[in-house]
Structure 1
Amino acid sequence: MKLDERDFRRFDGKFYPQVPTDLIVDCFGHKQVHFRQTHGHGAFVYLNAKRRQFLHAQQYSDSFDLVAWVRQHQAQLSLLITETPIPELKDELPQFIVPNAWEFYKAAASYSRQLYDGNVIAITGSVGKSTTRLMTVELLRALKRHVNTNIGNENVRQVVIPLLATTLQNPDDLVAEISINALNNRDGRQGVTARYYAADAAIITQVGGAHLAELSNVDDPLMFLAERKSRIFDEMPATGRAILNYDMEPRVYRYLVDVAHQHTDHLYAYSYADQHADAYVVKTEDFRDHTAVTMAILGETVTANLSMPGKGVILDLLAACLTLKSLGLPLPDVTNLFMNFEALNSELKFYEIPTSHGKVTIVDDTHGSTLHSVNNVISVFKARGQFYAGQKVLVMETGEDLGEDAAAYNLRFKDPLLTSHVDALIGYRDDAIKPLVDAVQPQLKTGFYQELAPVQAAIDDLPNDSLVIIKSSDGRKYGSDLWTLPEKLLHATSEV
């Protein structure tokens, strides 16, 4: 799909210096990366300092020169959207002058959505949304379908608009990951930004286990989050599909069902074990390097080998497969499709390193730490720990966003840890993890350190064929340095 000068009549603005007669626009964006697939027909939306402040987006550097930037990237552009005419460029690039660039951006994306007749699949949740998105994309591309999706894990409200505008490229499917930021009502009476997706299929992977600190003044944080997540159904057509995790807290699941029913009658549920769901696990068989999972998906039985461990990734795959089937699409051969699957960033990545007593397998899970993701790590020990002859060790700190009740939340892991085949727990840095370390004694070996050096030394002293999972918050956001430990261990290995 392409827009020309006639399409711009519906928008609040005017061309400068005159109406172009041969305009073609097939892409809108406000960053260079948004134009990587365009061929000279991109429209650059200049969000000035005022608009960026409104969006809580990063400001341009003091050295940024709009004229120089446009000239540098002019081969990718056919139009400049700005609130103030740029006389220096009047003979080089057509301009469309608007009163509010953010409002124009939303209007352009909304118009693109109206023209688009492919599938929009939207995904949100407190945990698992990125992996579910990536697996959904993998399944669709295995069917030879053209799929657009988020860049990296960008999922906040200012991402919604340029991503939705990529429907001008007429992909078969748009798969969009949505954070709570895009589901908060920050655009006043116009509602949440994510509503512009008007999703044909909307997945909620989980509610709760994150954002607890910032909700400390809310009477019922879980239901507060459920209401926010339910906004993914806003503007869903009556033909839309709502895909829900049946294993959520029952009252949360019932609430989401009620909200979804206000928009569509097409509700589907997936579950790890409950066979009343539309998709569920029939059986699993664990091996050292993968798990074979047999699933029932709307009456179809399929088996997939997953190199990525844990219950969480199995639930994510169930959601992805159920979504395709609910939309009337066939499933590709999934037998080995996810044998080398990797999630974003540092999520359950395996490394083997030499140590003083042989070799140790390090699992880097330092991208983030919620209550659900810690439980997932514990499930990894249960599934894969039996295949390691050495010690099974969990190195962890308190998850992000847990607030004043962090120590109490951490103590919930005591019983799961004691039945997980974990041999040792090493707590790191913060006082809120220390009560859990004390609580699992003497059943588990323990340690508590506030510096990385003794943690690194303890790992180096482990017996051959040990398994170590490092679970931390994203220190790049929350201040801890535990996320750097896997890199330090690998760097030390390279120097040996």
Structure 2
Amino acid sequence: MRRAMRLSEVVMATGAKPVNIRDLETVAITGVCIDSRAVEAGDLFVALRGNRTDGHHYLQEVFDKGAVAALVEYVPLGAEEMPLLRTPNTVHALGQLARYYRRQFDTLVIGVTGSTGKTTTKEMIAAALEAGYPNAVQKSAGNYNTELGVPLTLFELDADCRFLVQEMAMRGRAQIAYLAEIAEPRVGVITQIGWSHIEQLGSREAIAEAKSELIQSLPPDGIAILPRDDKFYEFLRARCACETVYTFGRHPEAHARLTEVQLGEDYTAGVVVLNLPDVQARVWLELPYLGEHLLINATAALLTAVVLGVAPDGAARALRHIQLPEMRMAVQRQPDGWTLINDAYNANPDSMRAALQVLIHQIPARRRIAVLGDMKELGAYSMRLHWSLGRWLATQPLDYLVLVGTEVLWTAAAAREGGFPPSRLLHFETPQQAREWLLRTVQKGDCVLLKGSRALGLEQAVVR
């Protein structure tokens, strides 16, 4: 937290009832913390109740570390004399307090959501904006994209921050609407509508509706940035609460149209034709990563930055040097002469095929080995989507197909039925078992792709 808040402000923002606190006006907090292990002197500790732990059990610990007060749902035994602020729901109170704090600054918030590419696009937008507004851009860190992470990001705002690029995740209906209520974005970017969250929502139409909560929350003078190529573009366009809508993609009517794509051995590039009311330009856009899908994300980022006043060439130069978080299309040359494409952070049907396209078509290799894990959270669609992936893989020029997990058994069956040679199709239950096979098999000149859902921890297949 960059600006201290009096406890009276906390009470005003959250409606919490003070317990054993007499002076709300002069006592101030200098930070907000939800992890008892990370509490520092001057913090307000927010006690959360989860499936495995309860923050109310650690009140003595946080006060020993110098916490000023604690936001609680109940007063535990032994805490009757501690300075507490009681509220019916500490998660909701955390959000209310973050919204109050956010309103102390004239910061333009850019919300980013979508089925795939959220984090990548968020990083790219921040980099492109920084080219025009040095030291005035903040972004959500790591997985700070939920009802807990968004408030913690907002508490890092300060008077120098002109733009905050905030990723917004969801697991069900009304969650993005809630995050937007807290962060109050004026720009909303949707990357695409895919299969992620199908288990919770039941259909892609429902996913599109849930993702559209971001653009439905924008103010009338807000700006929506939408994927023009997406099957659900018209659906999304009809749900924009703002008048100004810009689009990106390969569609001829897109405001930022990607053309002339080049797939290099160590780069991906293309021309973006910008056709905006105040900007018409052709921009060479080059990324130090492999994958046309990343170029689409970069086109969205370029468009967002230009709409917000950054010169197109400057934004493109910044994207040429973008550094993405770990395990996202990271090409890692190994000391013994083979190449690893580590895209093991997560997986869904859309991102799985995009990563495989890089392995198959973009990177030179003596042999191509795909190590693929389960795609989680697909619910009733899991069998169908894993099977569809297998039938497609049967037609692709892979030297080995290595499947890890349980749901990929459908992929294995479909690949065999489609004619993939059984001698080059392997299945392992764990990444560690796959690692043993890889150590015996991978040779100089090979390229290995790792791609699977986060729950699998597929990167363990190459840990030395």
TM-score, normalising length from structure 2? 0.83
- 1:394 is matched with which residue: 364, 370, 379? 370
3-state SS in 2 of match to 1:277: coil
Of 220, 240, 247, 1:238 maps to 220
Partner of 1:435: 413
Counting only pairs closer than 5 Å after superposition, residues 100-179 of structure 1 correspond to structure 2 as 100-142=89-131, 143-167=133-157, 171-179=161-169
Tell me, in whole angstroms, the C-alpha distance in 2 between the residues paired with 1:440 and 1:354: 36
Match of 1:71 among 57, 64, 67: 64
Match of 2:445 in 1: 465
Instruction: Determine whether 1:310 maps to 2:291.
Output: yes
In 2, Cα distance between equivalents of 1:30 and 1:362: 37
What are the superposed Cα offsets for residues 170-200 of structure 1, whole Å, 9 maximum, x if unpaired?
Answer: 622222111113x63379xxx6343322211
Structure 2 residue aligned with 1:350, among 304, 326, 331? 331
Task: Say which of 275, 286, 289 aligns to 2:266.
Answer: 289
Matches within 5 A, 1:329-344: 329-331=310-312, 333-334=314-315, 337-339=318-320, 341-344=322-325
TM-score by length of 1: 0.78
Report if aligned partners of 2:111, 2:166 keep a CA contact under 8 Å in 1.
yes
Give, in angstroms, the shift of residue 24 of structure 1.
4.4
Cα distance in 2 for partners of 1:35, 1:322 equals 40
Q: What's the offset of the Cα at 1:168?
A: 5.5
Alpha-carbon separation, structure 2, partners of 1:458 and 1:81: 50
Is the Cα contact below 8 Å between 2:8 and 2:24 reproduced in 1? no
SS at match of 1:157: coil
Question: What SS is found at the alignment partner of 2:148?
Answer: helix
Indicate the residue corresponding to 2:351 in structure 1.
Answer: 373
Shift of 1:13: 3.8
| 1:10 match | 12
Q: Distance in 2 between matches of 1:463 and 1:8?
A: 60
Q: 1:275 to 1:485 in 2, by over 3 A?
A: same
Unaligned runs of 5+ in 1: 492-496
Distance in 2 (CA, whole Å) between partners of 1:400 and 1:331 is 38
CA distance in 2, matches of 1:27, 1:300: 45
Q: Distance in 2 between matches of 1:177 and 1:445?
A: 43
Paired with 1:7 and 1:454, the residues of 2 have a C-alpha distance of: 55
- Counterpart Cα distance in 2 of 1:315 and 1:184: 27
Shift of the 112–283 alpha-carbon distance from structure 1 to 2, 3 Å rule, reads: same
Q: In the alignment, is the contact (CA less than 8 A) between 1:44 and 1:79 conserved in 2? A: yes
In structure 2, how many angstroms separate the alpha carbons of the residues matched to 1:111 and 1:274?
A: 41
Is 2:263–2:292's contact at 8 Å kept on the other side of the alignment?
Answer: no
* Alpha-carbon distance between aligned partners in 1 of 2:230 and 2:385, rounded to the nearest angstrom: 18
SS in 2 for 1:237: coil
Partner of 1:410: helix, strand, or coil? helix
Matched residue count: 448
Unaligned runs of 5+ in 2: none
In structure 1, C-alpha distance between the alignment counterparts of 2:73 and 2:5, rounded to whole Å: 20
Give the drift of 1:121.
0.8
Q: Distance in 1 between matches of 2:451 and 2:255?
A: 32
Using the alignment, how far apart are the partners of 1:68 and 1:8 within structure 2? 22
Q: 1:320 aligns with which of 295, 301, 305?
A: 301
Name the SS of the counterpart of 2:411 in structure 1. helix
Alpha-carbon deviation of 1:442?
A: 5.3
Report the CA distance shift for 1:334/1:486 in structure 2 as closer, same or farther (over 3 A): farther
Question: Offset at 1:278?
Answer: 0.9
Counterpart secondary structure, 1:437: helix
The C-alpha deviation readout for 1:317-371, integer Å capped at 9, x for no partner, is 111111122233444635554456443342222223355xxx2111122222201
Q: Is the 8 A contact 1:303 1:334 kept in 2?
A: no
Match of 1:228 in 2: 210
State the partner residue of 1:210: 196
Q: In the alignment, what sits opposite 1:259?
A: 239
Distance 1:394 1:8 in 2: 52
Partner of 1:494: none
| 3-state SS, counterpart of residue 393 of structure 1 | strand
Relative distance call for 1:145 and 1:227 in structure 2 (3 A) is same
Residues 2-43 of structure 1: CA distance to partner in whole angstroms, max 9, x if unpaired?
54466456342455432255444564342369888xxx7643
